[in-house]
């Protein structure tokens, strides 16, 4: 019978592509690691690795086993958490996958408050691309996800986390900085800093500009940057303007390095969602956090700008 220790050994070897490194991480000898993998291959009736002088390479069957192996280990951890969370005791691990940059401005503070209230729950905030969040939830790698668009996967359910306002931000010495507002058409001629294609900010900005017959091809895109922080620093140093989350621009606005400028007719707001697997075994840390985010004492964070 396949046991958890063999699965854990397989995963460690797969993730490190090295028997010696897997042995070091698992506190085993290299022959012991090799033996466990050999036994697992015999039990499953297939080769999981091809061994060579440069290390280990997974076979196609090894690749197929990876998500199942991860799920088995996560399910085992969740089982332990469930058995240790009884009555008024809330214990275990909570893994939250955050795929939106703006989520990290509120999620760490909210999670810290949660951990103070439930000290036996150990929370981890993990980064993930937006296209992978639902898959990570379904595979059991995370209990919750923070995303910038409502999930369209039938396997997960969503609830509103908070509302995020998107604003046009310019350098403090920009000619628009002293204006009460600008026209949407003025944006076309200005060097624009843009987030990557998968960004929720970019998606909602283009959707709003389309109402004024302004498309991506009409914009003078100067530079594409994959993080809100990178865009804010570039703006502060005079390299262009951009549409940025109000949360992301807050610090530099308060320091006087950048200014937000209203755009006539534009009111860009997006909803940030929390998602979880729709049908799954009970997991008390996940379910308690699901309700905790909208507790009255957290309104100062979720409504703060």
- Summarised one tens digit per residue, pLDDT across range 183-208 is 999 999 999 999 988 888 899 999 99
Domain count within the chain: 3
Pair (149, 293) in one structural domain: yes
Which tokens go with 73?
A: 């280990």
More confident residue, 115 or 140: 115
DSSP H stretches of helix in the chain? 4-16, 19-26, 30-44, 60-84, 103-117, 133-138, 200-209, 228-236, 246-254, 284-292, 299-302
Q: What percent of the chain has pLDDT over 90?
A: 39
pLDDT band at 84 (very low <50, low <70, confident <90, very high): low
pLDDT band at 153 (very low <50, low <70, confident <90, very high): confident
Asked if residue 190 is part of any domain, the answer here is: yes
pLDDT in tens, 16-59: 888 888 888 888 888 888 888 888 888 888 898 887 777 788 88
pLDDT band at 86 (very low <50, low <70, confident <90, very high): low
Cα–Cα separations (whole angstroms), residue 35 to 25, 30, 58: 16, 9, 16
Residue 242 pLDDT greater than 80, yes or no: yes
Kindly give, in sequence order, each residue whose CB lies less than 8 Å from that of residue 42, ignoring residues fewer than 6 positions away: none
Pair (63, 198) in one structural domain: no
Least confident of 67-81, 192-206, 221-235, 282-296: 67-81
Average pLDDT, the chain: 86
Among residues 278, 266, 250, the alpha carbon closest in space to that of 186 is found at 266
Pair (279, 243) in one structural domain: no
Pair (154, 184) in one structural domain: no
CA pair distance 289, 112, nearest whole angstrom? 11
More confident residue, 18 or 131: 18
Q: How many CB atoms lie within 10 A of CB 121?
A: 21
Whichever domain contains 52, its CATH number is 1.10.10.10
pLDDT band at 211 (very low <50, low <70, confident <90, very high): very high
Asked if residue 78 is part of any domain, the answer here is: no
Whichever domain contains 151, its CATH number is 3.40.190.10
Pair (167, 139) in one structural domain: no
Pair (116, 252) in one structural domain: no
Pair (295, 210) in one structural domain: no
pLDDT in tens, 255-300: 999 999 999 999 898 888 999 888 767 788 898 999 999 888 888 8
Contact 130, 99 (CB under 8 A): yes
Asked if residue 221 is part of any domain, the answer here is: yes
Asked if residue 85 is part of any domain, the answer here is: no
Pair (26, 167) in one structural domain: no
Residue 304 pLDDT greater than 60, yes or no: no
CA pair distance 283, 285, nearest whole angstrom? 6
Asked if residue 59 is part of any domain, the answer here is: yes
CA pair distance 146, 302, nearest whole angstrom? 14
Residue 29 belongs to domain spanning: 4-72
Asked if residue 82 is part of any domain, the answer here is: no
Residue 62 pLDDT greater than 60, yes or no: yes
Pair (44, 102) in one structural domain: no
Q: Quote the pLDDT of residue 173.
A: 95
Cα–Cα separations (whole angstroms), residue 180 to 168, 242, 254: 12, 17, 18
DSSP state, residue 199: -
**Helix/strand/coil for 23:** helix
Residue 111 backbone phi and psi in degrees, to 5: -65, -35
Q: Show which of 13, 46, 72 is a domain's final residue.
A: 72
Q: Quote the pLDDT of residue 51.
A: 79
Query: How many Cα neighbours within 13 Å face the side chain of 276?
Result: 22
Mean pLDDT of 172-177: 95
Asked if residue 178 is part of any domain, the answer here is: yes
Asked if residue 68 is part of any domain, the answer here is: yes
Evaluate if pTM is beyond 0.75: no
Beta bridge partners, 268, equal 166
Pair (275, 158) in one structural domain: yes
Mean pLDDT of 97-110: 84
Which tokens go with 303?
A: 């409504």
Name the one residue in this structure whose structure tokens are 């860009």.
Answer: 268
Pair (105, 134) in one structural domain: yes
Pair (182, 255) in one structural domain: yes
Residue 79 pLDDT greater than 90, yes or no: no
């Amino acid at each position: 019978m396949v046991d958890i220790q063999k699965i854990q050994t397989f995963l460690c070897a797969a993730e490190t592509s090295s028997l010696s490194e897997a042995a070091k991480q698992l506190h085993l000898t290299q022959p012991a690691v090799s033996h466990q993998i050999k036994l697992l291959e015999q039990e499953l009736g297939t080769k999981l690795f091809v061994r060579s002088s440069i290390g280990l390479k997974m076979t196609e069957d090894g690749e197929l086993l990876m998500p199942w192996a991860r799920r088995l280990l996560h399910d085992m951890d969740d089982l332990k958490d469930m058995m240790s969370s009884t009555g008024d005791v809330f214990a275990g691990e909570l893994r939250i996958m955050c795929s939106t940059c703006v989520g990290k401005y509120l999620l760490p503070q909210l999670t810290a408050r949660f951990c103070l209230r439930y000290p036996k729950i150990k929370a981890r905030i993990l980064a993930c691309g937006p296209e992978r969040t639902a898959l990570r939830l379904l595979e059991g790698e995370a209990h919750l996800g923070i995303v910038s668009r409502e999930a369209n996967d039938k396997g997960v359910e969503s609830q509103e986390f908070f509302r995020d306002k998107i604003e046009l931000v310019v350098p403090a010495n920009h000619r628009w900085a002293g204006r009460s507002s600008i026209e949407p058409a003025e944006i076309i001629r200005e060097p624009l800093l843009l987030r990557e294609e998968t960004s929720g900010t970019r998606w909602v900005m283009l959707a709003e500009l389309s109402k004024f017959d302004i498309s991506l091809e009409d914009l003078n895109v100067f530079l594409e940057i994959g993080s809100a922080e990178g865009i804010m620093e570039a703006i502060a140093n005079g390299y262009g303007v951009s549409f940025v989350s109000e949360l992301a621009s807050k610090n530099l606005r308060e320091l006087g390095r950048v200014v937000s400028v209203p755009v006539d007719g534009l009111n860009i707001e997006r909803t940030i969602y929390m998602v979880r697997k729709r049908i799954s075994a009970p997991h008390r840390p996940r379910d308690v956090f699901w309700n905790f985010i909208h507790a009255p004492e957290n309104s100062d964070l979720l409504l703060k700008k």
